């Protein structure tokens, strides 16, 4: 996912394709010329030039894109650095100290802030020393500045900027500290693990989540949900239809393969297939989704199609889109909320009036159904049960039942929805369920928690 601060794109052929390291650095450079974004872009567009950067900032402060963030640019005379860094060429004087004007400086600060926000970084670091920097392992919330001159016999980024790298880090950090990365409310427990089997239960769950955990008003939630319905029909395991044939997978088999890692993280983030409630597609967004749900930091037994955790990740993304978040919080109509999600967040190729009206109409349905819903509507008349497996034959189900009973777990076999299911339930108290699940998982049983009307 590239910066939305970009106003001109001139893609360069000079890059190495996908990075082989995650992004943990930013490396600003000097153009050695008061060039516009277009002038610098024309140089990088020449394959014989054998140089590029991810971004460029022209003499007027305009920001251009030359190499997608997912790809390694040819900018720092170091493959290792370029694989880890987002590189930024900045218009400058042609002579020492290669000074930059205020417009370029302001855009550099804003671009660095934007990069940090999109990668979940709350702090930048400038050590002013090559050895210290390269030996340092950044924390998950940290972005480190590096300099081209460390990797080649060059003065880049010029003494003017090099002497101000500490100031750059300070200004970026100041802006980051003023940005809300997450709503002040804590996400309501439980954080995941519930499977919502009917479309109505999924609708209620999504409405409930944003009602409780965001600042969105009812118009905002409805407008957002109308867009999610258009993207995925509110199915968190939805694999983009055009990729089912290409990958020879269904929604279910794709999800299962990601969970059990027979379809690896690298395959998941690089296959270009839309997935989940918001049809996450771009490599950086799918990587962030994967790490958020399956990275092991939630303390729950997770699946990549966990509806609650996908909602939590979606909210985490939306917080970074300040204007979208603001409108969803203060929307005066479903249409207003729906349109801003469409045009400034989802951003599909077709943003015609007919598409806007269709998505708003979907949102209106949810508004009419749930705008007066009570806070606990999701849990009303619902019970939890633990499933130890679903089998096509009763023999296999009974075999699994014997295995869990051998380890002291309770269960029974019943056939519903076409499968013989080994399950234990129903429970009103989710905390009791979590305790059993944790114990079962410690014995290597593949269990999931489901919610069902009782």
Same domain for 291 and 161: no
Residues 6+ positions from 335 with CB-CB distance below 8 Å: 223, 356, 360, 363
Residues 6+ positions from 370 with CB-CB distance below 8 Å: 203, 204, 207, 218, 221, 222, 377
Final residue of a domain: which of 329, 344, 370?
Answer: 370
Same domain for 333 and 235: yes
pLDDT tens profile 329-340: 998 899 999 999
Nearest to 266 by CA among 12, 21, 9, 4: 21
Could you tell me if residue 189 is inside a domain?
Answer: no
What tokens were used for 232?
């995925």
For residue 185, pLDDT over 50 is answered with no
Same domain for 203 and 74: no
Nearest to 359 by CA among 388, 337, 327, 376: 337
In 11-159, the DSSP E strands lie at 15-18, 25-30, 55-57, 63-65, 71-73, 85-90, 123-125, 142-145
Could you tell me if residue 294 is inside a domain?
Answer: yes
Same domain for 437 and 347: no
Q: Give the burial string for 309-340 (b: 16+ CB within 10 Å, else e).
A: bbbbbbbbbbbbbeebbebbeebeebbbbbbb
Task: Determine the Cα angle at 201 with ends 302 and 213, to 5°.
Answer: 65
Nearest to 144 by CA among 266, 24, 280, 46: 24
For residue 180, pLDDT over 70 is answered with no
Q: How many CB atoms lie within 10 A of CB 307?
A: 23
Q: How far apart are CA 396 and CA 413, in angstroms?
A: 10
Q: How far apart are CA 119 and CA 137, in angstroms?
A: 16
Q: How many CB atoms lie within 10 A of CB 145?
A: 21
**Which segment of 189-198, 258-267, 295-304, 374-383 scores lowest on mean pLDDT?**
374-383
Same domain for 153 and 259: no
Same domain for 135 and 205: no
Residue 85: band (very low, low, confident or very high) from pLDDT cuts 50, 70, 90: very high
Residue 303: band (very low, low, confident or very high) from pLDDT cuts 50, 70, 90: confident
Q: What percent of the chain has pLDDT over 90?
A: 59
Final residue of a domain: which of 130, 146, 177?
Answer: 177
Question: What are the residues facing 275 on neighbouring strands?
Answer: 239, 280
Final residue of a domain: which of 131, 152, 177?
Answer: 177
Same domain for 221 and 158: no
Phi/psi for 238 (5° steps) reads -70, 120
**Pairing mode of beta strands 71-73, 15-18:** antiparallel
Same domain for 359 and 221: yes
User: Which CATH number covers residue 124?
Assistant: 3.40.80.10
**Domain limits for position 387:** 382-453
**Which segment of 167-171, 239-243, 347-351 scores lowest on mean pLDDT?**
347-351
Q: How far apart are CA 286 and CA 381, in angstroms?
A: 35
> How is the chain split among helix, strand and coil, in percent rounded to 5?
45, 15, 40
Scanning 248-388, the segments in alpha helix (DSSP H) are: 251-259, 265-270, 283-294, 307-320, 322-330, 334-341, 353-370
For residue 190, pLDDT over 60 is answered with no
Same domain for 443 and 319: no
pLDDT tens profile 377-400: 444 445 677 888 888 889 988 998
Could you tell me if residue 354 is inside a domain?
Answer: yes
Q: Could you tell me the strand order of the sheet in which 25-30 lies?
A: 8-9, 63-65, 55-57, 85-90, 25-30, 142-145, 123-125
Same domain for 218 and 145: no
Could you tell me if residue 260 is inside a domain?
Answer: yes
User: Which CATH number covers residue 402?
Assistant: 3.30.70.1070
Could you tell me if residue 184 is inside a domain?
Answer: no
Same domain for 386 and 366: no
Could you tell me if residue 221 is inside a domain?
Answer: yes
Could you tell me if residue 183 is inside a domain?
Answer: no
Backbone angle region of 13, left / alpha / beta, with phi > 0 → left and psi within -120 to 50 → alpha? alpha
Q: How far apart are CA 293 and CA 311, in angstroms?
A: 11
Q: How far apart are CA 272 and CA 260, in angstroms?
A: 20
Task: Determine the Cα angle at 324 with ends 377 and 26, to 5°.
Answer: 120
User: Which CATH number covers residue 282?
Assistant: 1.10.530.10
For residue 302, pLDDT over 60 is answered with yes
Give the CA radius of gyration of the chain.
Answer: 25
User: Over the chain, what is the mean pLDDT?
Assistant: 87
Do 136 and 27 contact (CB within 8 A), yes or no? no
Scanning 342-393, the segments in alpha helix (DSSP H) are: 353-370
| Count of domains forming the chain | 3
Pairs from 290-299 (Cβ < 8 Å, separation ≥ 24): 290/258, 290/265, 292/316, 293/192, 294/258, 294/259, 294/265, 298/191, 298/192, 299/191
Could you tell me if residue 150 is inside a domain?
Answer: yes
What's the confidence (pLDDT) of residue 342?
A: 94
Same domain for 118 and 54: yes
């Amino acid at each position: 996912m590239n910066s939305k601060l970009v106003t001109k794109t001139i893609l360069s052929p000079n890059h190495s394709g996908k990075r082989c390291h995650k992004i943990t650095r930013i490396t600003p450079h000097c153009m050695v010329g008061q060039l516009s974004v277009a002038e610098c872009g024309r140089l990088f567009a020449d394959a014989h030039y054998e140089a590029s950067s991810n971004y460029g900032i022209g003499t007027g402060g305009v920001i251009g894109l030359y190499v997608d963030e997912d790809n390694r640019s040819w900018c720092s005379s170091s493959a290792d650095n370029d694989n880890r860094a987002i590189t930024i060429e900045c218009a400058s004087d042609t002579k020492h100290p290669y000074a930059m004007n205020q417009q370029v400086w302001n855009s550099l600060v804003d671009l660095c802030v934007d990069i940090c926000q999109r990668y979940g970084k709350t702090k930048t670091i400038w050590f002013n020393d090559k050895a210290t920097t390269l030996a340092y392992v950044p924390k998950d919330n940290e972005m480190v500045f590096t300099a081209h001159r460390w990797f080649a016999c060059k003065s880049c980024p010029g003494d003017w900027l090099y002497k101000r790298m500490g100031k750059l880090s300070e200004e970026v950090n100041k802006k980051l500290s003023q940005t809300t990365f997450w709503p002040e409310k804590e996400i309501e427990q439980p954080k995941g693990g519930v499977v919502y089997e009917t479309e109505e239960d999924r609708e209620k769950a999504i409405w409930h989540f944003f009602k409780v955990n965001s600042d969105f008003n009812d118009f905002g939630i409805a407008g957002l949900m109308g867009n999610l319905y258009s993207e995925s029909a509110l199915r968190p395991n939805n694999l983009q239809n055009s990729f089912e044939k290409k990958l020879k997978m269904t929604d279910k088999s794709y999800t299962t393969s990601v969970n059990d890692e027979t379809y690896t993280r690298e395959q998941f983030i690089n296959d270009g297939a839309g997935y989940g409630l918001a049809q996450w597609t771009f490599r950086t967004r799918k990587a962030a989704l994967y790490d958020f749900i399956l990275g092991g930091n939630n303390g729950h037994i997770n699946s990549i199609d966990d509806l609650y955790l996908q909602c939590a990740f979606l909210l985490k993304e939306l917080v970074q889109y300040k204007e979208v978040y603001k409108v969803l919080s203060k929307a005066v109509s479903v249409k207003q909320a729906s349109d801003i999600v469409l045009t400034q967040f989802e951003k599909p190729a077709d943003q015609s009036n007919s598409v806007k009206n269709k998505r708003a109409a979907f949102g209106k349905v949810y508004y009419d159904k749930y705008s007066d819903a009570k806070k606990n509507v999701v849990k009303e008349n619902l019970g939890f049960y633990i499933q130890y497996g679903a089998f096509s034959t009763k023999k296999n189900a009974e075999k699994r039942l014997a295995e869990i009973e051998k380890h002291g777990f309770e269960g029974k076999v019943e056939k519903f929805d076409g499968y013989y299911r080994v399950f234990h339930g129903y429970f009103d108290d989710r905390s009791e369920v979590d305790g059993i699940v944790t114990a079962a998982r410690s014995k290597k049983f593949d269990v999931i928690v489901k919610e069902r009307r009782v």
